[in-house]
Amino acid sequence: MSQAELLEIAVGLARDAGALLLERFQGGHERALASKSTPTDLVSEADLASERLIRETLARLCPADGILGEEGGGTQGSSGLTWVVDPLDGTVNFLFSIPQWCVSVAVADEYGSLVGTIYDPCRGELFVATRDGDPLLNGAPIAASDRTELSSAMVATGFAYDASVRAAQAEVFAGLLPRVRDIRRFGSAALDLAWTACGRYDAYFERTVKPWDIAAGTLICERTGLTVQELPEREGLPPGVLATVPALAAELFELVG
C-alpha cells in the first residue's frame, strides 16, 4: 500500500474517531472510568470507544497490520506495518471540558513513521504528513518558525503524572523560564507537536511521552525541517523528546536534556 493510500485510511480513522469524541464532548457528561499509572492518569469511556472504532476499522481494512494503541496495547501483524494510535490525546482536558485534545494516528515500519495524522475536532484542524511528502494543515502547506534567539522563543511542554518526576521537572522549568519568551502547558503532546510544526511554538519538549503520543507529531515536525531529538533518561527524569527549530536545538538541549 502506498503512503498516499495509508494516509487516506489514517485521515478517515482520525476523522471518524474525532466525530465520535466531539459528540461526547459537546454532551458534557463524560466521566473518568479509572486511573492508570497514578490517580491523575485517567481513562474514560470515550478513550475506549474511540480506540474500539479505530481497531475495528483497521481489522477490516488492514487485517495484516499490527496495532499499538494507548488503551488496548499492541498486536503483532505480518505486513511489517504497525498503526500507532492515541485515540484521545488530552483525556484530562476532555474530562474537564477544556477544548484541547485530539486523535493521533500514525503508521510505522522498521525505520519509523511513514504517515502521521493529528485531528483536532474542536477547531476542525487536520495536520498530516508522509515520509516523502509535504506537511499540511487542512490541505495547505505549513512551515515551522524561523526563530534564532532563545530569549524570544515560545516553548511548549508537559508534565508527568508522577509527583516525584514533576518535582524534578520543576527544576528544569525554573531554569528555562528566565531564558525564553514564555512557556505554555496545554495538555496534549500530539497537538503541541503539531502546533510546533506550524510555527505556533518555536519548540516543544516533554518527558514520559509514549510512542502513541508522538509517532504522528514527530514525523510532521521532521517534515517541516525541525530538529527532533530524544531526551535521554537522567536522575529523576525519564526519557523524552525535544522538537525545535535547528537554530535553538543545541542551546535548548543543554537546558532541558
One-character DSSP codes across 94-157: HHTT-S--EEEEEEEETTEEEEEEEEETTTTEEEEEETTS--EETTEE--------GGG-EEEE
Within its chain, how far is the Cα of 111 from the centroid? 19
Q: What is the pLDDT of residue 93?
A: 94
pLDDT digits (tens, 9 = 90+) for 49-70: 899 999 999 999 999 999 998 7
Q: What is the pLDDT of residue 69?
A: 85
For residues 75 and 188, the model is more confident at 188
Is there a single domain that holds both residue 33 and residue 87?
yes
* Residue ending a domain, choose from 87, 121, 141: 141
Is there a single domain that holds both residue 160 and residue 110?
no
Give me the sign of the Cα torsion angle 101, 62, 223, 150: positive
Q: What is the pTM of this model?
A: 0.93
84: left (phi over 0), alpha (psi -120 to 50) or beta: beta
pLDDT, average across residues 240-252: 98
pLDDT, average across residues 190-214: 97
Q: What is the pLDDT of residue 41?
A: 47
Rounded to the nearest integer, the mean pLDDT of the chain is 92
- The 10 Å Cβ neighbour count of residue 228 is 19
For a pLDDT cut of 70, what percent of the chain falls above it?
93
Domain that holds residue 80: 3-141
Strands (E), the chain: 32-35, 42-44, 66-69, 73-75, 82-89, 102-109, 112-120, 125-130, 136-137, 140-141, 154-157, 182-184, 203-207, 227-231, 240-244
Q: What is the pLDDT of residue 187?
A: 96
Residue 123 belongs to domain with CATH number: 3.30.540.10
As a whole number of Å, the CA-based R_g of the chain is 17
Residue 39, φ and ψ in degrees, nearest 5: -60, -20
Is there a single domain that holds both residue 33 and residue 84?
yes
pLDDT digits (tens, 9 = 90+) for 5-26: 999 999 999 999 999 999 989 9
pLDDT digits (tens, 9 = 90+) for 226-239: 999 999 999 889 99
pLDDT, average across residues 20-47: 69
pLDDT, average across residues 180-184: 97
pLDDT tier at 47 (50, 70, 90 boundaries)?
confident
Is there a single domain that holds both residue 91 and residue 126?
yes
- What is residue 26's DSSP assignment? H
CA-to-CA separations, 155 to 32, 68, 113, 119, in angstroms, rounded: 30, 29, 24, 21
Contact 104, 121 (CB under 8 A): no
Which of 106, 114, 118, 30 has its CA nearest to residue 69?
A: 106
* Residue ending a domain, choose from 108, 141, 174: 141
C-alpha cell of 45? 469511556
Which of 230, 207, 223, 215 has its CA nearest to residue 134?
A: 223
Is there a single domain that holds both residue 27 and residue 114?
yes
Number of domains within the chain: 2
Q: What is the pLDDT of residue 65?
A: 96
